[in-house]
Amino acid sequence: MRKIFEHTADAGIEVKGENLSEAFDEVSLAFTEIITGGNLPNLKSFHSIDLEGIDLDNLLIRYISHLIFLFDTENFIVGSTNLQIIMDKNKKLKGKIHGEKYNEKKHGYGVEIKAISYHMLNVSEGPPSKIKLILDL
């Protein structure tokens, strides 16, 4: 389950998943839906993910920042993920994200995401796992 909500020149995302990996997957798809206005891409290519954070909130910030980087540098948008979260002293996110290069004519246009905000950021391990975040547009 994912929900996108408006927040004063920003966009908010609320997701729920059976586990953290599913919740991170839902965040990825909501991220793409904001950029495209709702359309998801074909799964033509992938990027490997290997990120680490001091806690789950920090891991999510690093992940969203990485998605923004991939969009800004390669126009890559996510259509599917295969992610695993490892709960060591530092939290780790490993796996692959699948998608394709963004094409406005094919995918449509929503808005550009500039950054993730710490405001209202919350990652709840669950079950069910829940994530709430605000994106600067």
Q: Rounded mean pLDDT of 81-109?
A: 95
Coil, helix or strand for 127? coil
Residues above pLDDT 90, as percent of the chain:
81
Is 93 within 8 Å of 51 (Cβ atoms)? yes
The neighbour count for residue 65, using CB atoms within 10 Å, is: 13
Checking if the pLDDT of 6 tops 70, the result is no
Q: What pTM does this model have?
A: 0.91
In order of 50, 98, 106, 134, the CA distances from 40 in angstroms are 23, 11, 10, 20
Mean pLDDT of 28-46: 95
Helix (H, G, I), strand (E, B) or coil at 25: helix
Q: What angle do CA 56, 75, 65 make, to 5 degrees?
A: 20
pLDDT for 8: 66
Q: What is the CA radius of gyration of the chain?
A: 14
* Strand order from edge to edge, sheet including 45-53: 45-53, 91-101, 76-87
Cα 84 from Cα 109, distance rounded (Å)? 30
For residue 1, what pLDDT is reported?
75
Q: What fold is seen in the domain 2-136? A: Archease, Possible Chaperone; Chain: A; domain 1 (3.55.10)
